[in-house]
Amino acid sequence: KSPSSSNFIKNIVIEDLEAGRVTEVVTRFPPEPNGYLHIGHAKSICLNFELADEFNGRTNLRFDDTNPLKEDLEFVNAIKEDVRWLGFEWDELHYASEYFGQMYEYAVRLIRKGKAFVCDLTADEIREQRGTLTEPGRNSPYRDRSVEENLDLFERMRKGEFPDGTKTLRAKINMASPNINLRDPVIYRISHAVHHQTGDAWCIYPMYAYAHPIEDAIEGVTHSICTLEFEDQRPFYDWVIEECETPAKPRQYEFNRLNVTNTVMSKRKLKKLVEEQIVDGWDDPRMPTISGMRRKGYTPEAIRAFCRDVGVGKSYGVVDERQLEHFIREDLKLKALRTMAVLRPLKVVITNYPEGETEWLEAENNAENPEMGNRQIPFSREIYIEQDDFMENPPSKYFRLFPGNEVRLKHAYFVKCEEVVKNEAGEVVELRCTYDPETKSGSGFTGRKVKGTIHWVDASNAVPAEFRLYEPLIADEAEDDDEGTFLDHVNPNSLETLQGFVEPGLKDVTGQEKFQFFRHGYFNVDPKVSEPGRPAFNRIVSLKSSFDP
């Protein structure tokens, strides 16, 4: 395993180990199972798992399932699959809901200490009395209830005597605190909801900010790593650890979240795209979800290399999506079989090639990686080329096919365009060419040179295939907080579907095999759209971008 690059959290870990403040590094990845994981989560996963791994520590996967209304088993299962696929194995699997009993006990302890009270204000009233950054909040009229009364009411909340929203349990801290999170935050709410793990055992649920430090403490997490928006919650995190008197004392550290251009990264918005059927599910290749990226053709190696590269810090930034593309190109460059695919076919008849005959030509599988060997590809009288590799009236500097011009067919022969066949509408439907047998690829022919090389597929052996080309789903500046308007930025042309052909060797690809199609880029077999004998390919990325060195 290669050591992760240095970052401020790693430095803290090293100091803590050296000073003996911790003997083992324990981290956790704590998703709420209310959606699928996205590339931002991948950054957090890599950080937590790689950090612990580097110091022989442990990492738990913990479902932060304190909000039953938004959560679902489908998400639990998808999250497990995605973490494993990224290449990480958790030490222990937990659900925050396992600790509801312990959290309740701690809440009772807070009440006994005079540090929590049952409040009858509604959510709106609480919000309204909370004050602002410049104005202190107002004390709840229920703040001075006696310990006995609070204990009694809290127990009755638990027993289900009160309807949703009529009472809360609040920490009693300081309504004048400059940190709004310390103004008597709600720590329990009533919700008569069926929970995916605990069923109807509970009708009160702890709030995230109260539950999280307790979960960390119970699991012995030493470094509780989260994103920067939780920085203002840290004083309350420490308050919970202190006042609940948990045996373990986890500490929270915050890092900058990952943002990527041309996409949205909040589960709430991604869910909207799914629900409005703008995409074909959470794993649509246009989604920035791990499952979408997997289906598009990203590899775990490329995602991990990307996450390492973007680094861990405290500054806000948006990473160019081309950086992500750089890493998948790098990963596939030497691994992917390089073959020919025709996305927009134009038939070419080679008039001087014997009818009914097929020869097999030698083609290297990866010009940059000879270890991948060679394959045989068929060649015969009829082939397909790309429509845009022919122009009837080309501009100067156009070196591909045009009437009278000669080009090289990759791995095959020189061919010369002799005749253009059109349909009634005047569209070019076929070319008639001649070939020169002496120019066979690999024969050492030096008699004359041509300026263009184009790719092709033998027509009689070609496998019909679908090609799915993607563009960003969301225009760049769409990352705003308004759920309604971000849908206005959806690109209506984010998917282009083409019907073409691939080499016969690709007939039965079924898994998520990845290929480089000569001149078109890297493609992945789509596991959902492909049919037996008729594969569909998602373009992962084109061959070059201005971003590459």
Site for ligand ATP, rule CB under 6 A = 30-32, 40-41, 43-44, 226-227, 257-258, 265-267
* CB nearer Mg ion, residue 266 or residue 491: 266
- C-beta of 106: minimal distance to ligand ATP in Å? 21
The dihedral region occupied by 457, where left means phi > 0, alpha psi between -120 and 50, and beta the remainder, is beta
- C-beta of 122: minimal distance to Mg ion in Å? 24
Cα angle, residue 85 at apex, residues 80 and 88 outer, rounded to 5°: 75
DSSP track, 348-369: EEETTSPTT-EEEEEEES-TT-
Q: How many CB atoms lie within 10 A of CB 4?
A: 19
* CB nearer ligand ATP, residue 226 or residue 506: 226
Nearest Cα to Cα of residue 319 among 273, 231, 257: 257
Residues making up the annotated binding site for ATP are: 32-34, 38-44, 227, 257-258, 265-267
Q: How many CA atoms lie within 13 A of 184 on its CB side?
A: 29
Q: How many CA atoms lie within 13 A of 50 on its CB side?
A: 23
30 is in the binding site of which of Mg ion, ligand ATP, none (Cβ under 5 to 8 A by kind)? Answer: ligand ATP
Q: Which residue is associated with the tokens 């003997």?
A: 23
**What CA–CA distance (Å, rounded) separates 17 from 23?**
6
238 is in the binding site of which of ligand ATP, Mg ion, none (Cβ under 5 to 8 A by kind)? Answer: none
340 is in the binding site of which of Mg ion, ligand ATP, none (Cβ under 5 to 8 A by kind)? Answer: none
Residues making up the annotated binding site for L-glutamine are: 64, 208
> What are 139-147's contacts with CB under 8 Å, separation 24+?
139/175, 139/184, 140/170, 140/184, 142/117, 142/118, 143/117, 143/119, 143/172, 143/184, 144/117, 145/117, 145/118, 147/111, 147/112, 147/114
- C-beta of 183: minimal distance to ligand ATP in Å? 23
**Chain centroid offset of residue 96 CA:** 24
* CB nearer Mg ion, residue 32 or residue 330: 32
- C-beta of 228: minimal distance to ligand ATP in Å? 9
Instruction: List residues with catalytic annotation.
Output: 32, 257, 267
- C-beta of 29: minimal distance to ligand ATP in Å? 6
> Is 372 in a helix, a strand, or coil?
helix
Structure tokens at 234: 């840290």
| Interacting residues with Mg ion (CB under 5 A) | 32
- C-beta of 487: minimal distance to Mg ion in Å? 18
Sheet strands (E) in 438-520: 453-454, 457-458, 463-470, 495-502, 514-517
Chain residue at closest Cβ approach to ligand ATP: 40
Q: How many residues does the chain have?
A: 549
Nearest Cα to Cα of residue 272 among 482, 447, 459, 444: 482
- C-beta of 226: minimal distance to ligand ATP in Å? 4
Q: To the nearest 10°, report the CA torsion of 149, 152, 157, 161.
A: -110
70 is in the binding site of which of ligand ATP, Mg ion, none (Cβ under 5 to 8 A by kind)? Answer: none
* CB nearer ligand ATP, residue 32 or residue 152: 32
* CB nearer ligand ATP, residue 40 or residue 311: 40
381 is in the binding site of which of Mg ion, ligand ATP, none (Cβ under 5 to 8 A by kind)? Answer: none
138 is in the binding site of which of Mg ion, ligand ATP, none (Cβ under 5 to 8 A by kind)? Answer: none
Nearest Cα to Cα of residue 325 among 366, 288, 281: 288
* CB nearer ligand ATP, residue 68 or residue 137: 68
* CB nearer ligand ATP, residue 233 or residue 524: 233
**What CA–CA distance (Å, rounded) separates 150 from 156?**
10
